[in-house]
Amino acid sequence: MPSKDLDIVILSYNTKAITDKCLAGVLVAKEFCEEKLKNKVKVTAIDNASLDGSTDMIEKKYPWVNLIRSKTNLGFAKGNNLGMSGVKTPYILLLNSDVFLGKDTLIKALNYFYKNKSCDILSVRFRYPDGRFQPSGGYSPTPLKTFAWMMGIDSVPYIRKILKPIHIWDESFYKNERILEWASGAFFLLKRDVYEKTGGFDENMFLYMEDIEWCKRIKDKGFRICFTPEIAVVHLAGASSKNNIKNQLMSQMRGLLFFHKKHYPDKLKFTRLAIRIGLLLRYILFKIIGKTEVSGAYLNAYHNLHI
């Protein structure tokens, strides 16, 4: 039987209590997995220069974790690449510190690979702590899809059917197994071979859109990104970014522009114009309905987005 040894890479940044809860769940899942599958599960935590005592907590409560203390905030892409760089096991799980595993999550996920030989990356069902559905995948951006998204028309049934939108918000989409063009990096289980042949995340991207960009290269190499609704994890979402709408939006738009500059450079002028018009329209809409914080974030992005 092929080895099911696994390396889990967890990125942590100023989420001491959340990381504590995450690792407690990982420990239960790890021990149960090793007991049932007779495999080895190694855990590496990359701390991005946290100031909240996260590293001391990890060191004291979870001495079995391979802790890497970064002196600077490396960001999502570079931090995860650092964690993956020394992996020798057949499988790697990238896990956000705000994702909580069930006892049998690892067993189910590794067995999925064993039963589905053509699967190279596995994405699972996400939900919020209260049980609500959380979207976690979709189709790779193209200039036309990005235009539809920024204009707010990608949810129109006819357009959605033709273009296949970047973000899938419809819960029914996630009720069946399927192949995705991109999946969230919050829980991203992959064969090590995928990392070795694609080079991991683009480290020019600090935070947001880097999972979508890597998935584009993964897909272009012929690897398959599989989704199963039979495995579920809890994801808080946005824990380390402290829900700063202005910073999140700027990072997302910068990532979107970088994606198009890299993969569709001949259409960059069109994409940039579409993004700027979309930002302005959303500023006006949220201003009208009285959501000043959100409208301010869009206006800030409109004025300061450059690449």
Are residues 90 and 57 part of one domain?
yes
Are residues 206 and 108 part of one domain?
yes
Are residues 229 and 256 part of one domain?
no
The series of mean pLDDT values per 10 residues for the chain, 307 residues long, is 89 94 98 97 96 95 96 93 95 97 98 95 96 96 96 89 92 96 98 97 90 98 98 82 78 95 97 96 96 95 85
Domain residues for 230? 6-139+165-235
Q: Is residue 156 part of a domain?
A: no
Are residues 40 and 85 part of one domain?
yes
Any idea how long the chain is? 307
Are residues 259 and 171 part of one domain?
no
Listed residues 235, 253, 278: the one ending a domain: 235
Are residues 169 and 271 part of one domain?
no
pLDDT tens digit string along 91-109? 999 999 999 999 999 999 9
Listed residues 181, 215, 235: the one ending a domain: 235
Are residues 213 and 99 part of one domain?
yes
Residue 274: its pLDDT value, please? Answer: 96
Residue 239: its pLDDT value, please? Answer: 55
Are residues 280 and 170 part of one domain?
no
Are residues 259 and 231 part of one domain?
no
Q: Is residue 151 part of a domain?
A: no
Number of structural domains found in the chain:
2
Rounded Cα–Cα distance for residues 160 and 174 (Å): 16
Q: What is the CATH number of the domain that holds 90?
A: 3.90.550.10
Question: Is the pTM for the entire model greater than 0.85?
Answer: yes
Q: Is residue 99 part of a domain?
A: yes
CB 183 within 8 A of CB 215: yes
Listed residues 235, 259, 279: the one ending a domain: 235
Q: Is residue 146 part of a domain?
A: no
Are residues 216 and 105 part of one domain?
yes
Q: Is residue 104 part of a domain?
A: yes
Residue 244: its pLDDT value, please? Answer: 80
